[in-house]
Amino acid sequence: MIACFGLRSLAILTALAVGALVLVGTAAHADSADNEKILLKGSTTASYFWDDSSGRAGDTGLPASGKPMQKGLAASPSWPLMTEGYVVYKGKKAPFFVGDRGPGEPSNRGIMLDLDAKTFADLTGGSFNSDTLGVDGVGGQGHIELDYVITKWGDGVGKKNHPVPFSTGAWAERDNNPATPPADQEPPAVDGDADGASGDGVENQGGSVSTVLVAGTLTAAGAALLGSDRLRPLLVR
């Protein structure tokens, strides 16, 4: 019966191992955005803002989408609200969604994206100052040249193509002819996610965390299997 128990144990642990491998593979796939279709890509100059509705930074209230100010919320002078994508700056990648309108007059000068201050800080290696709502440690830098990629268009009004100045009024018009997705689906080169600079590091370590959790699960399962009161009688038969 000891041999029988050994075979049963081996079969159960093998099943657990297979399930673990599936789990790791699924987690790794879920963490990857590389499979998202690129609807539009280009380059522009980006500024930053942080509207907390206090008026300290010149804001006039909540972002146009009604969403609270948060990391990843960007403003566009023409894209539909709730459009999603990511930017790449010097190899660092950061996701965004369009939650507000702007820049206003600066968009006439080619500044076509307003990132939230926390994302701007992550990309540039600075730090967000919650007192001034600005970015410290970047030598007063307020604009960066970056690449953008759109992966999902918002459902509302706005231009579904390369951004145009706010003054054109394209942000208020429904666009039924979105840009044709580029034939070249190769995304901008990325060295790492800008989120890693925020200090939490959780999202960037999904694969490692999954591996540790799976290893712990297998160890616990094996211990429970060998120590189970229901299986002990098999050892002495």
Does residue 192 fall inside a structural domain? no
Total number of domains in the chain: 2
Please report which helix (H) or strand (E) contains residue 91, including its range: none
Q: In this predicted structure, what is the pLDDT of residue 53? A: 73
Per-residue pLDDT of the chain (237 residues; tens, 9 = 90+): 544 445 444 444 444 444 443 433 433 333 335 578 999 999 999 999 998 777 666 666 789 999 999 999 999 999 999 999 999 999 999 999 999 999 999 999 999 999 999 999 999 999 999 999 999 999 999 999 999 999 999 999 999 999 999 999 999 999 999 999 999 999 999 997 776 433 333 333 344 334 333 344 433 444 444 444 443 333 333
- Going by their DSSP bridges, the two strands 111-116 and 40-49 should be labelled as parallel
Q: Has residue 194 been placed in a domain?
A: no
Spatial distance between the Cα atoms of 93 and 98, rounded to a whole number of angstroms: 16
Phi-psi region of 77 (alpha: psi -120 to 50; beta: other; left: phi over 0): alpha
Contacts 24+ apart (CB under 8 A), 122-125: 122/92, 122/94, 122/194, 122/195, 122/197, 122/198, 123/87, 123/89, 123/90, 123/92, 123/94, 123/194, 123/197, 124/89, 125/197
Nearest to 80 by CA among 198, 212, 226, 178: 178
- 181 and 217 in a single domain? The answer is no
Q: What are phi and psi of 46, to 5 degrees?
A: -120, 145
Other beta carbons less than 10 A from residue 211's beta carbon: 16
pLDDT at 58: 61
Q: Are residues 17 and 81 in the same domain?
A: no
The C-alpha atoms of residue 13 and residue 18 are separated, in whole angstroms, by 9
Q: Is 135 inside any structural domain? A: yes
Tell me which residue range forms the domain holding 115. 40-186
Q: Please classify residue 216 by burial: count the beta carbons closer than 10 Å to its beta carbon, then call 0-12 exposed, 13-18 middle and 19+ buried.
A: exposed
pLDDT on residue 195: 62
Q: Residue 194's pLDDT is what?
A: 76
* Mode of pairing for the β-strands spanning 73-76 and 92-101: parallel
Q: What is the pLDDT of residue 31?
A: 36
Whether residue 141 sits in one domain with residue 77: yes
Q: Considering the domain boundaries, does residue 218 fall inside one? A: yes
- Domain for residue 104, yes or no? yes
Same domain, 172 and 91: yes
Answer yes or no: do 129 and 152 share one domain: yes
